[in-house]
A and B are shown apart, each in its own frame.
Chain A
Amino acid sequence: MEKFTKLTGIAAPMPLVNIDTDMIIPKQFLKTIARTGLGKNLFDEMRYTQEGQEIPDFILNQPAYRASEIIVAGDNFGCGSSREHAPWALLDFGIRCVISTSFADIFYNNCFKNGILPVVLPKEAVDVLMADAQKGANARISVDLENQTVTSSDGQSFGFDVDAFKKHCLMNGLDDIGLSLEKVAAIDSFESRAKTLRPWV
Chain B
Amino acid sequence: MSGPRTLYDKIWDDHVAHQSEDGTCLLYIDRHLVHEVTSPQAFEGLRMAGRPVRAPEKTIAVPDHNVPTTAGRDTHIDNEESRIQVEALDKNARDFGIHYYPVSDVRQGIVHIVGPEQGWTLPGMTVVCGDSHTATHGAFGSLAHGIGTSEVEHVLATQTLIQKKSKNMKVEITGHLRPGVTGKDITLSVIGVTGTAGGTGYVIEYCGQAIRDLSMEGRMTVCNMAIEGGARAGLIAPDEKTFAYVMGRPHAPKGAAWEAALAYWKTLFTDEGAHFDKVITLRGEDIAPVVTWGTSPEDVLPITGTVPSPSDFSGGKVEAVQRALDYMGLTAGQKLTDIQIDTVFIGSCTNGRIEDLRAAAAVLKGKKKKDGLRAMVVPGSGLVRAQAEEEGLAQIFIDAGFEWRLAGCSMCLAMNPDQLSPGERCAATSNRNFEGRQGRGGRTHLLSPAMAAAAAITGHLTDIRDLL
Contacts and interface: CB of A to CB of B under 8 A. Distances in A.
Interface of A: 15-18, 20, 22-23, 26-28, 30-35, 45, 50, 74-76, 79-84, 87, 102-106, 109-110, 113-114, 163-165, 176-177, 180-181, 183-184, 186-187, 190-191, 194, 197-201
A200 B122 contact: yes
B320 interface: yes
Given A80-B434, A106-B146, A187-B28, A34 B253 contact: no
B192 interface: no
B148 A18 contact: no
A16 B327 CA distance: 14
* CB-CB nearest 10 A-B residue pairs: A31-B81, A113-B150, A200-B253, A190-B17, A110-B148, A84-B148, A17-B316, A33-B40, A186-B18, A76-B197
B18 A187 contact: yes
Contacts of B30: 201
Contacts of A187: 17-18, 26, 28, 54, 158-160
B125 interface: yes
Interface in B121-179: 122, 124-125, 130-132, 145-151, 153-154, 157-160, 162, 164
A114 B150 contact: yes
Interface string B9-53: 000001011101010101010100000011011001100010100
A138 B111 CA distance: 49
A63 B54 CA distance: 49
A75 B314 CA distance: 13
Given A45-B440, A82-B131, A177-B153, 8 more contacts: A16-B316, A17-B315, A18-B320, A31-B81, A75-B197, A82-B132, A84-B38, A200-B253
Contacts of A27: 413-415, 436-437
Interface of B: 14, 16-18, 20, 22, 24, 26, 28, 30, 37-38, 40-41, 44-45, 49, 51, 54, 58, 65-66, 79, 81-82, 84-85, 88, 122, 124-125, 130-132, 145-151, 153-154, 157-160, 162, 164, 196-197, 200-201, 228, 230-232, 253, 257-258, 260-261, 264, 296, 298, 315-317, 319-320, 323, 413-415, 422, 432, 434-437, 440-441
B404 to A, nearest CB: 24
B148 A79 contact: no
Nearest to B409: A27
A105 B230 contact: yes
A17 B44 contact: no
Contacts of A201: 30, 58, 122, 125
A84 B152 CA distance: 10
B373 to A, nearest CB: 24
A54 to B, nearest CB: 16
B200 A104 contact: yes
A164 B162 CA distance: 13
Nearest to A46: B435
Given A28-B415, A76-B200, A165 B24 contact: yes
Nearest to A165: B24
Contacts of B54: 187
Nearest to B129: A82
Contacts of B230: 76, 79, 104-105
A180 B160 contact: yes
B164 A163 contact: yes
Contacts of B124: 198
A107 B413 CA distance: 18
B38 A82 contact: yes
A80 B415 CA distance: 16
A164 B320 CA distance: 34
B154 A180 contact: yes
A15 B319 contact: yes
A104 B195 CA distance: 12
B317 A183 contact: no
A183 B28 CA distance: 12
Interface centre among A76, A165, A176 (most CB of B within 10 A): A76
Contacts of B151: 109-110, 113
Contact of B436 (A45, A79, A113, A163): A45
A33 B440 contact: no
Contacts of A23: 434-436
A143 to B, nearest CB: 22
Scoring A28, A34, A87, A105 by chain B CB atoms within 10 A of each residue's CB, the highest score goes to A105
Contacts of A183: 17-18, 26
Contacts of B232: 105
19 contacts: A17-B315, A22-B434, A27-B415, A28-B415, A30-B38, A30-B66, A31-B37, A75-B197, A80-B132, A83-B148, A105-B231, A165-B162, A180-B154, A180-B158, A186-B26, A187-B18, A199-B257, A200-B253, A201-B125
Contacts of B257: 199-200
B434 A180 contact: no
Interface centre among A28, A165, A201 (most CB of B within 10 A): A201
